[in-house]
Amino acid sequence: MKTTLATLILCLVVLMATGFPFERKGGSSSGGAAKEKRVQYAAWDDVNVIAHGLLQLGQGLKEHVDKTKVQMRDISTKLKVFNRTVTELGKESQRLRVEGEALKVHAQGLEDREGQLLNVTAELREKAEEMQQERRTMSERISRLEERVDSMLQGDAVLSDTNAAKNRSDARNIQLMLEAQNRRIDDLMERIRLQQEKLDKQNVRIRTLQSQIQQSRQRPSPRSSSTDGSEQRGGVAEQGDSPVEMASDCHELFLRGESTSGVYTIQPINAEPFKVFCEMTADGGWTVIQRRQDGSVDFDQLWQAYEKGFGNLNGEFWLGLEKIHSIAKDGGYILNVKLSDWGDDLATVRLPFRLGGEETKYSLQIQEVDTFSTLESSLGTDATSGLPFSTRDRDNDQKNDTNCAKHLSGGWWFSNCGRSNLNGRYFQSPPPKQRHQRKQGIFWKTWRGRYYPLKSSKMMIAPTAIENKS
Average pLDDT, stretch 254-269?
A: 93
What's the number of CA atoms in the CB half-sphere (13 Å) around residue 360? 17
pTM of the model: 0.53
What pLDDT was estimated at residue 411?
Answer: 96
Q: Which of 142, 174, 199 is the last residue of a domain?
A: 142
pLDDT beyond 70 at 399: yes
Residue 171 DSSP class: H
- Residue 407 inside a domain? The answer is yes
263 and 383 co-located in one domain: yes
189-226 pLDDT, tens digit each: 777 777 776 676 666 667 666 666 665 665 554 444 34
- Residue 459 inside a domain? The answer is yes
What pLDDT was estimated at residue 154?
Answer: 62
262 and 125 co-located in one domain: no
What pLDDT was estimated at residue 429?
Answer: 73
- Residue 234 inside a domain? The answer is no
3-state secondary structure string across 390-454: EECCECCCCCCCCCHHHHCCCCECCCCCCCEECCCECCCCCCCCCHHHHCCECEEHHHHECCCCC
Q: How confident is the model at residue 454 (pLDDT cuts 50, 70, 90)?
A: very high
403-415 pLDDT, tens digit each: 999 999 999 999 8
Residue 411 belongs to a domain with what CATH number? 3.90.215.10
- Residue 154 inside a domain? The answer is no
- Residue 254 inside a domain? The answer is yes
Q: Which of 119, 142, 165 is the last residue of a domain?
A: 142
- Residue 447 inside a domain? The answer is yes
Q: Which of 111, 142, 173 is the last residue of a domain?
A: 142
pLDDT beyond 50 at 241: no
Instruction: Count each helix (H run) and each strand (E run) in the chain, helices first.
Output: 12, 11
35-57 pLDDT, tens digit each: 454 545 447 777 788 888 888 88
324-368 pLDDT, tens digit each: 999 998 888 999 999 999 999 999 999 999 999 999 999 999 987
CB contact at 8 A, 367 and 376: no
The total number of structural domains that make up the chain:
2
444 and 302 co-located in one domain: yes
- Residue 266 inside a domain? The answer is yes
What pLDDT was estimated at residue 211?
Answer: 61
Question: 60 is in which domain, residue-wise?
Answer: 53-142
pLDDT beyond 60 at 438: yes
